[in-house]
């Protein structure tokens, strides 16, 4: 008789302890469930919906769903992969993602998931949104057109940096990234290039001006292995704990 709790993820036994979500337990065990707004160091946000899994015929967000003993969880099934592909295509349509001109191309989690899910075309007509850029800060550049509204920067700013620099404002289509200063400019906040928040963005929205993404093609994070093998990382995020995924 053992007290160990575990569930099955696509047939693989995942141990967990009480209070962990399916995503937290899977990540700790080195199993990969697609995601963009989850980071193992931060509270779940539950906004991107990429981490959906099937539990007893019900679709739930694995980053917010508590793990339960002997639960059967399915992630890598065609219906869910297709739903994820549509979500990714929607993000591409919403945000003016033109990868060939982007500094984080090859190191980008959104792009890597698009490759992983077999995205070959936009599917949705681009919204062609134009959101204000911010180059006011001496060390950081912001391209809001690439923001996917995951609030990783906002959560990292509060809980890792003990600041309150980044946030989201507005509703629905009007939701956008803000900086908490009277002027609304990043330069007038307490933001520093050394903040965790400045190195957690999964796409090319928050960029150090000195350039952390100077790798040549072939040496970039996702050049030689897909994201379900490499995991969600940013090359300059030294605190990231979700390493060593083992999925084939």
Q: What would the two tokens of residue 83 be?
A: 């739903």
The answer to whether residue 108 forms part of the interface with ligand SF4 (CB under 6 A) is yes
Q: How many CB atoms lie within 10 A of CB 234?
A: 22
User: Residues 17, 98, 135, 215: which binds ligand SF4 (CB under 6 A)?
Assistant: 98
The answer to whether residue 207 forms part of the interface with ligand SF4 (CB under 6 A) is no
Q: Which is nearer to ligand SF4, 220 or 228 (CB)?
A: 220
User: Whole-number minimum distance, CB 224 to ligand SF4, in Å?
Assistant: 17
Strand partners, 160: none
Q: What would the two tokens of residue 230 be?
A: 């490499």
- Pick what 98 binds: ligand FES, ligand SF4, none; C-beta below 5 to 8 Å, kind-dependent: ligand SF4
Best CA proximity match to 33, nearest among 92, 84, 105: 84
- The residue at minimum Cβ distance from ligand FES is 63
Q: Classify the C-alpha dihedral 25-27-31-36 as positive or negative.
A: positive
Strand partners, 55: 58, 73
- Pick what 53 binds: ligand FES, ligand SF4, none; C-beta below 5 to 8 Å, kind-dependent: none
**C-beta separation of 25 from 7 below 8 A:** yes
Q: Which is nearer to ligand SF4, 25 or 207 (CB)?
A: 207
State the residues that interact with ligand SF4 by CB under 6 A.
Answer: 97-99, 102, 104-105, 108, 110-111, 146-153, 166, 177, 200-201, 203-206
């Amino acid at each position: 008789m053992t007290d160990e709790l575990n569930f099955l993820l696509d047939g693989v036994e995942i141990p967990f302890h009480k209070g962990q979500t399916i995503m937290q337990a899977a990540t700790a065990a080195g199993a990969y469930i697609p995601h963009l707004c989850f980071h193992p160091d931060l509270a779940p946000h539950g906004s991107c919906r990429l981490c959906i899994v099937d539990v007893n015929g019900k679709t739930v967000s694995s980053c917010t769903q508590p793990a339960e003993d002997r639960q059967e969880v399915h992630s890598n099934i065609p219906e869910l992969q297709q739903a994820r592909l549509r979500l990714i295509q929607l993000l591409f349509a919403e945000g003016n993602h033109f990868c060939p001109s982007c500094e984080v191309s090859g190191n980008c989690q959104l792009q890597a998931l698009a490759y992983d899910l077999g995205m070959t075309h936009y599917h949705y007509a681009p919204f062609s949104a134009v959101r204000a850029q911010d180059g006011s800060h001496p060390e950081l550049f912001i391209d809001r057109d690439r923001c996917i509204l995951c609030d990783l920067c906002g959560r990292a700013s509060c809980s890792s940096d003990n600041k309150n620099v980044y946030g989201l404002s507005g509703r629905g289509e009007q939701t956008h990234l803000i900086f908490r200063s009277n002027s609304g400019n990043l330069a007038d906040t307490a933001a520093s290039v050394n903040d965790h928040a400045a190195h957690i963005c999964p796409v090319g929205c928050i960029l150090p001006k000195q350039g952390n993404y100077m790798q040549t093609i072939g040496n970039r994070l996702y050049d030689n292995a897909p994201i379900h093998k490499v995991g969600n990382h940013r090359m300059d995020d030294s605190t990231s704990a979700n390493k060593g995924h083992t999925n084939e």
